[in-house]
Structure 1
C-alpha cells in the first residue's frame, strides 16, 4: 500500500532507468516527462519522452476494498489498485535513425527490468534529482510492480495521438505499469465486537434458524433414501417447538440442539414423497402474545436429492422373439412417488463376469402419479440382471453380498430379475 506519491514515483523510476541506459547507447540522449504539448519547446534533441496518458483500475484486485474485507479489519484504510499507461515517444535525427535506436534501447531495457524492485524505487526516492519523492513509501508495497508492453493497433495509436492537439506524431511505444495500490488517509472505523447474538426482550425479527448442511448420519457422502437418518447442521436451530419441513410434509425431529438436528425419514408413511430434488426447511413455532413477533419462523431453504429404493420388481408379458432374445414388461414397485413428468430410466446390468450385457430403457409417459411404474423392455437377451431405477438423476442403490463364506462375497447381488 502506498501514499499519494506512488504514481509520481513510478514515473520517476522509469525515467531514471531509461536515462541511465539510453545515454550510454546514444550520446547526448535524455529521458524527460513532459506533456505532448510541451515537446516542441522542452524535448531533447535526442531521447525519449515518458508521458502518463491513462490510468485504469486493476481488474485482479477489483474487490480489494470490498465491504466484507474491510469489516474483517483488513485492510485498515480504503485502497484502490490501478495500472498506469505510458506513451514513450522517441526523438532524434531521422537521418541517423536516432529515434529508432532510442526505441530499441527502451525495449531491451524494459525487457530486462520488467519489475520495479524495492531497491530501484528506494534509490529513486533518495536521488537528489527527485527531492519531492523523499516521503514516498512505494518501496514498501508487498505486490511487485511490473512493466509490460501494450499492443496498440494503428487505429488506437492514431486516436491516442489525435487528442494531443497540434502535436506531430513521432515513433512511440506504449507500456503499462501494474499494479500500484493507493491507500486512503482515513482509517476504517471498527466497532466493538458483538457479545451476544440472541435477541434481548421483544424483537420484531428474532434470530432465524440457518441451515448450512444436511447429510446422512455417520456418512456425509452416502445417498439419502427414505430409510436414512439425517443430520442438519447450522445455527440457531433450537427453539420451543421445532419441525422439519420437506416439501409439504412436516417431520418431528428426534434430537434438537442449537447447532445440530437429527431426524429420520423412516417415519414417513410409504409412499408419501417423490424422488429427486427436495426442499428442506427448519420451522420454529414460538408461543408469543406480542403482535410484533411472528409465531412461525422459517429457515433458509436447502436442497437435497432423495434416491428411490426398489421394493420389488417383477417381469410380465414375456415373449420369445428369437432363441435368446425376449421382450417383456418390467413392473417396479418403489418406496417413493413418481410424477407424470419425471424422467425415469431403467438400467439392467447382466449379473455375470463373462461379457455382461447392459441395457437402458426409458419409461413411457404415464397419466398419473404412482409408486408403481411399468417399463417395456424389448429385445433383451436371456439371463439374470441387476436392476436400478434413475429418477431425475436420483439413482436407486444396489445391495451387496456381505456373507464372507459366499462365492459372490462383496458383489452386487440385488435387486435382480431373470429373463428366461
Structure 2
C-alpha cells in the first residue's frame, strides 16, 4: 500500500478482519456484542463488577524494512531531479490484546478467534482493504481519512505473520505502556510491509523522435593533468591560462568544462595538450576540469549531444583580494566575484602596531554568500588596532599575498586605527 495513509489503512484492515469473525452469525463460544478497538493499551476498560470484553489492536512499533528500501534506490538523477518517487518501506508491529471475564475464559476464547481469523487472512489483498474501508467509511473518527485511501496495493500487498515475544519482552512492553493497567492476554503480530510514497512530481523525458547511429573511435578523452601556463604554482587566478595534458583530447567539437563555465580550446591545442584561457567567470575554490566531445547540431535544430567525456581533474582557483577601512568596516574586494552559496573566511595576520595583547592571527567565518557580489565586510570594531596582512579563503582555497623581498608577504595590508 503506497499512500501516506497506509499505516492507518493496514491497522483498520486488521481491525476489520477480526471484527467480521465476531459479527452475527456468532461463532460457537464467542459472546455477542464484542467489539474490536484500536485504543492505547493503557486505556483498556476494566470493571471488577462487570468485566468489559473485547479485542484491541495497537501498533506499538514501526521498523524500516531493508529489502523494500533497497529496492527503491536510487530515486534521483545526478542533477537532483526525480527519476522515481521516493518510497519508505516499513514493518508494523501489532499487539493483539483480548480481555473479558477470566472466570468464563473469555480472553482465551477471543484470542482463539483472533488467531484463527488472522491465520486465515495472511495477505491484505485489495478486496480485503476495500471491505474494511467500506465497513468504517461512516465512522466519525476515521471515516473521513479512509475515504482518501487508494486501494492500489503498490509493489505487493501487506502480509501478516505472528511474532514471538518472550515473557520478559511482553512484560517490558506492558510496562512501557504505563497507565497502571495490568497486562492482559496478548499476542504480537507483524504486518510487512507498508510502503509510503511521496507525492513529489517525477520528471518524465519526452519520447525519442529520431534515432541515429553515430560511429566513432572507441576510447574517450583521457585527462592526465591540469596546470597553469608558464612557471609558477599550479593554482590559478582569474583570467589566467591553463594547460590540459592527456590523450585523445580533441574531438569533432571539443569543450572544456571548468566548474560551471565552458571554454573552447585555444590556439596551439593538440590531441595531447589543450590550452584554455583566459579563465573568466570561474568562481574561486576547488573546481573540476573535464573535456567533452560533442556532436555537431543535427538537422531541424536538433541539439548537439555529448559523445564522450574525460575523467575529472581538480583545479584550484585562487581568489584575489584588496582591502580598505571605512569608519565602520574593513571592506574586502574580491576577484573573481563570489557566487551564491560560497563560503568565505577572512584571515588576518598581525604585522605591527597595536598593544602587547594583540593576537598574532584572527579569522572570521562570514555567512554564506546570498547573491553574486565582489564585496565582503568585517566590522571594524572586531579587529584590534594595528597593521594586518589580509587573506581570504573561498571554498577552501586561500588567496596568495604578494611578496616583499624573498621571504616576506607584505600585501595586501590594512591599517586599523582606533575605532572612532
TM-score interval for Structure 1 and Structure 2 normalised by the shorter chain: 0.3 to 0.5
**Larger gyration radius, structure 1 or structure 2:** 1
TM normalised by structure 2 equals: 0.46
